[in-house]
Amino acid sequence: MATENSNVSKAEEFKLLANKAFGARKYAQAIELYTKAIELNSQNAVYLANRAFAHLRREEYGSAIQDATEAIEVDPKYSKGYYRRGTAHLAMGKFKEALKDFQQVKKLCPNDPDATKKLKECEKAVMKLKFEEAIAVPESLRHSVAESIDFHTIDVEPQYSGARIEGDVVTLDFVKKMMDDFKNQKFLHKRYAFQIVLQTRDILRALPSLVDINVPNGKHFTVCGDVHGQYYDLVNIFELNGLPSEDNPYLFNGDFVDRGSFSLEVILTLFALKCMSPSALYLARGNHESKNMNKIYGFEGEVRSKLNETFVELFAEVFCCLPLAHVINEKVFVVHGGLFSVDGVKLSDIRAIDRFCEPPEEGLMCELLWSDPQPLPGRGPSKRGVGLSFGADVTKRFLQENNLDLVVRSHEVKDEGYEIDHDGKLITVFSAPNYCDQMGNKGAFIRFEAPDLKPNIITFSAVAHPNVKPMAYANNFLQLFS
User: DSSP letters along 199-261, please?
Assistant: HHHHHHHTS-SEEEE---TT-EEEEE-B-TT-HHHHHHHHHHH---BTTB-EEE-S--SSSST
Q: How do the pLDDT tens digits run along the chain, 482 residues long?
A: 566 778 999 999 999 999 999 999 899 999 999 999 999 999 999 999 999 999 999 999 999 999 999 999 999 999 999 999 999 998 888 888 999 999 999 999 998 888 888 888 888 878 887 887 777 767 666 789 999 999 999 999 999 999 999 999 999 999 999 999 999 999 999 999 999 999 999 999 999 999 999 999 999 999 999 999 999 999 999 999 999 999 999 999 999 999 999 999 999 999 999 999 999 999 999 999 999 999 999 999 999 999 999 999 999 999 999 999 999 999 999 999 999 999 999 999 999 999 999 999 999 999 999 999 999 999 999 999 999 999 999 999 999 999 999 999 999 999 999 999 999 999 999 999 999 999 999 999 999 999 999 999 999 999 999 999 999 998 766 665 55
Please check whether residue 376 is in contact with residue 390, taking contact to mean a CB–CB distance below 8 angstroms: no
State whether residue 266 is helix, strand or coil.
helix
CA dihedral 285, 290, 293, 299 (to 10 degrees): 90
Reduced 3-state DSSP string for 9-39: HHHHHHHHHHHHHHHCCCHHHHHHHHHHHHH
Omega within 30 of 0 (cis) for the link into 208:
no
> Among 261, 294, 290, which residue's Cα sits nearest to residue 436?
261
The alpha carbon dihedral of 283, 286, 291, 293 has a sign of: negative
Q: What's the pLDDT at 118?
A: 80
**From 288, 336, 422, 465, the catalytic residue:** 288
Please check whether residue 385 is in contact with residue 61, taking contact to mean a CB–CB distance below 8 angstroms: yes
What distance lies between CA 247 and its chain's CA centroid? 28
Q: What's the pLDDT at 2?
A: 60
Q: What's the pLDDT at 412?
A: 96
Beta bridge partners of 241: none
Please check whether residue 88 is in contact with residue 52, taking contact to mean a CB–CB distance below 8 angstroms: yes
Q: What's the pLDDT at 476?
A: 66
Phi, psi of 70 (to 5 degrees): -65, -40
Instruction: Write the burial class of residue 473 (CB in 10 Å: 0-12 exposed, 13-18 middle, 19+ buried).
Output: buried
Q: What's the pLDDT at 119?
A: 86
Please check whether residue 221 is in contact with residue 215, taking contact to mean a CB–CB distance below 8 angstroms: yes
Is residue 288 flagged as an active site residue?
A: yes
Query: How many residues would you count in the chain?
Result: 482
Phi, psi of 97 (to 5 degrees): -65, -40
Rounded (5°) CA angle 389-393-396: 110
Q: What's the pLDDT at 140?
A: 65
**Every domain of the chain and the residues it spans:** 2-135, 146-481
State whether residue 51 is helix, strand or coil.
helix
Fold classified for 146-481:
Purple Acid Phosphatase; chain A, domain 2 (3.60.21)
The pTM of this model reads 0.94
Q: What's the pLDDT at 479?
A: 60
Please check whether residue 369 is in contact with residue 387, taking contact to mean a CB–CB distance below 8 angstroms: yes
Rg (CA), the chain: 23
Helix (H) or strand (E) holding 429: strand 426-429
Cα 213 from Cα 325, distance rounded (Å): 11
Cα 136 from Cα 411, distance rounded (Å): 30
> Among 441, 64, 413, 364, which residue's Cα sits nearest to residue 225?
413
Cα 446 from Cα 274, distance rounded (Å): 20
Match domain 2-135 to its CATH number in 1.10.357.10, 3.90.1150.10, 1.25.40.10, 1.20.1050.10: 1.25.40.10
Cα 414 from Cα 426, distance rounded (Å): 14
Phi, psi of 53 (to 5 degrees): -65, -45
Q: What's the pLDDT at 461?
A: 98
